[in-house]
Structure 1
Amino acid sequence: MAEEAVTTLRAELARFERADEGFALLEVFLEVARPWLGPVVLDPVELRLPDEITHDRQLVLGLIDGIEAEPRQGRVVERVFDVEDAQARWDYVRLAYCAQQATIWSAKRRTTYFEVMHQSRATYWLPDSLKAAYFDAVQARGWAVPADWLEAVAKRPKPWWKRGRR
Structure 2
Amino acid sequence: MAEEAVTTLRAELRRFGRAEEAFALLETFLEVARPRLETASLDPRQLYLPEEMTDDRAVVRDLIDAIGNEPERQRRLLVVAERSYDLDDPQARWDFTRLAYCSDLATVWSRGRRTTYFEVTDKSRATYWLPDTLKIQYFDAIAAKGWAVPEDWLSAPSKTPKPWWRRF
Q: TM-score range by the shorter chain?
A: over 0.9
1:118 positional shift: 1.1
- State yes or no: 1:77 paired with 2:81: yes
Find the counterpart in structure 2 of residue 32 from structure 1: 32
Query: What's the % identity of the aligned pairs?
Result: 66
The secondary structure found in structure 2 opposite 1:97 is helix
Q: Deviation at 1:73? A: 1.9
Name stretches of at least 5 consecutive residues in structure 2 with no aligned partner: none
Runs of 4+ deviating beyond 6 Å: none
Q: C-alpha distance in 1, partners of 2:163/2:81?
A: 30
Tell me the residue number matched to 2:118: 114
Aligned to 1:99, which of 75, 96, 103? 103
Equivalent residue number for residue 88 of structure 1: 92
Match of residue 129, structure 2, among 125, 142, 166:
125
Mapping of residues 39-58 of structure 1, within 5 Å: 39-58=39-58
Cα deviation code 1:53-110 (max 9, x no counterpart) = 0111010000000001111122361000011111000000000000000000011452
Provide TM-score, normalisation by structure 2.
0.95
Partner SS for 1:80: strand
| Structure 2 SS opposite 1:38 | strand
Deviation at 1:148, TM superposition (A): 0.2
User: What residue number does 1:20 align with?
Assistant: 20
Residue identity opposite 2:68 in structure 1:
E
The equivalent residue for 1:65 is 65
TM-score where L is the length of structure 1: 0.96
Structure 1 segments unaligned to the other structure (5+ residues)? none
Select the residue among 135, 139, 155 that pairs with 1:135. Answer: 139
1:155 matched residue in structure 2: 159
